[in-house]
Every structure is written in C-alpha cells, then in structure tokens.
C-alpha cells in the first residue's frame, strides 16, 4: 500500500527492471519484494519513467465465453481435420551410420 493512503489495495504493481517494464495486475495473493499494492486511485494515476512500458493485466477481460462464431470455427476446423485421409506410412529401420549415431550389433 502506498504510504499515507488509507484506501484498500486492489492492484499489484511489479517492476521488471531488466525490460524497463511495469506490470499492473490483479492484487497479488502473496508478498513479493519488488511488488507494490495500490488502491484504485493510485493505480489509475500510475506514471513510469520515460521510455518504460506499462502492461496492464486485467483477467476479467479474458474471462468470457467463446462466441457462437468461435465455436463454429472450431467445429469447422475439426471437420476439416477429420476429412484428411491419413494412411500409416511404413518406415523401414535404417541400419548403419546415421549422422553421429551408429548401430552396433550386440556381441556377447
């Protein structure tokens, strides 16, 4: 929580210094040394150093059901795959030198 702020934390800010990136995501479930919990007001007013990138991860955006069009596209892809006639290919073993590997007969 930001010092001096009495609001409840709702987001966690994590810095990735090697990539000059700040990631603002859902509230973390465990404490991490380089993570900072922010209230909604401070999360919305977040600024980063010039040249840095901010990635805002909101899992609620991605928690939606597939659309009917998505389901139809998946069904059509499955149908197309089922139409492909797959014949098993007979592969004869290649005995002898193959790259850096060699077959050596077993001797007792």
Query: How does pLDDT run across 56-105, given as a tens digit for each residue?
Result: 877 665 556 777 888 888 888 877 776 665 666 666 665 555 566 666 67
Please state whether the predicted TM-score (pTM) of the whole model is above 0.75: no
CA dist., res. 28 & res. 51, Å (int): 26
| pLDDT computed for residue 16 by the predictor | 85
Q: Are strands 35-38 and 53-56 parallel, antiparallel or unpaired?
A: unpaired
Query: How does pLDDT run across 36-60, given as a tens digit for each residue?
Result: 899 989 888 888 889 999 988 776 6
| Domain locations in the chain as residue ranges | 1-86
Task: Read off the pLDDT band of 34 (50, 70, 90).
Answer: confident
């Amino acid at each position: 929580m930001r010092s001096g702020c009495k609001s409840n934390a709702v987001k966690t800010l994590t810095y990735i210094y090697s990539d000059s990136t700040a990631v603002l995501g859902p509230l973390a479930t465990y404490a991490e040394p380089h993570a900072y919990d922010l209230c909604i007001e401070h999360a919305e007013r977040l600024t980063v150093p010039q040249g840095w990138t901010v990635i805002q991860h909101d899992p609620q955006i991605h928690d939606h059901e597939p659309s009917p069009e998505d389901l139809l596209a998946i069904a059509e892809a499955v149908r197309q795959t089922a139409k492909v006639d797959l014949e098993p290919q007979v592969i004869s073993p290649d005995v002898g030198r193959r790259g850096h590997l060699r077959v050596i007969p077993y001797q007792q």
